[in-house]
Structure 1
């Protein structure tokens, strides 16, 4: 049986960081909600049942947490791009997507979000 690529989804990772350009945003941490999607060929992992043959989503998540909590960002674009870089850096990753929500950023809206993705073709690997 030929399996499709595996999809790892990190859903609703709730963190706090400095994000924004207004004085109150620069001085006070705000909530962000992060969603990440990673696609990779998991054939080795499905055949072996060995951790070394799979992408470790716990390691990826810990790196994202460290990035978000230890830095300051003016723009959602930069934060999202940096998260996407972590999600897509492993050579097995075929496609990655990162979305960051900034709850209550706009009056009358639940949140504002920004989504970025990258698709690695065979030539880039």
Structure 2
């Protein structure tokens, strides 16, 4: 994880539960399954802190809506692909300096609560 420097804010979208087609087995291809998404976003918040104006902030509601539309409209064979596409989606918001996306697939393994993949990206100055 990125060390936060003064002026950087960390936003966490926690436990976003969505349904999508995820997997390679026939049953997984035919039936939507739950996935649990956690996203961490880092952006320069100095202007938003000073102005107290939404136009100067990272609009996490817009990001969340975009992620929901992406995940619920497509199918994915691999959790890695789903995670990368969500990461790419959030990095398309130019104010995002750093993002971490973790996606859990509940009950993917017997005797396990879930299996998850985590990917990160950082914008270079």
Task: Report TM bin, short chain.
Answer: over 0.9
- Asked whether the 8 Å contact 1:39–1:96 carries over to 2, the reply is yes
Matched, 1:45 2:44: no
Deviation at 1:86, TM superposition (A): 1.5
Partner secondary structure for residue 91 of structure 1: coil
What is the distance in 1 between the residues matched to 2:69 and 2:24? Answer: 21
Aligned-residue CA RMSD (Å): 1.1
1:92 Cα shift?
A: 1.9
Distance in structure 2 (CA, Å) of the matches to 1:58 and 1:25 = 29
Give the distance between the partners of 1:10 and 1:24, measured in 2 at CA: 29
Q: Could you tell me how far 1:91 is from its partner in structure 2?
A: 2.1
Aligned to 1:107: 110
Match of 2:18 among 4, 15, 37: 15
Gap runs ≥5 in structure 2: none
Match of 2:28 among 22, 25, 28: 25
Q: Which shifted more, 25-34 or 80-89?
A: 80-89
Shift of 1:46: 0.3
Aligned length: 121
Q: Deviations over 1:69-120 (max 9, x none)?
A: 1110001111101110121122221110101000000001000000000112
Q: 1:117: which partner in 2? A: 120
1:7 alignment partner, SS class: strand
- Which consecutive unaligned segments of at least 5 residues does structure 1 have? none
Question: What TM-score results when the alignment is normalised by the length of structure 1?
Answer: 0.93
TM-score by length of structure 2 reads 0.93
Assess if the C-alpha contact under 8 Å between 1:6 and 1:39 holds in 2. yes
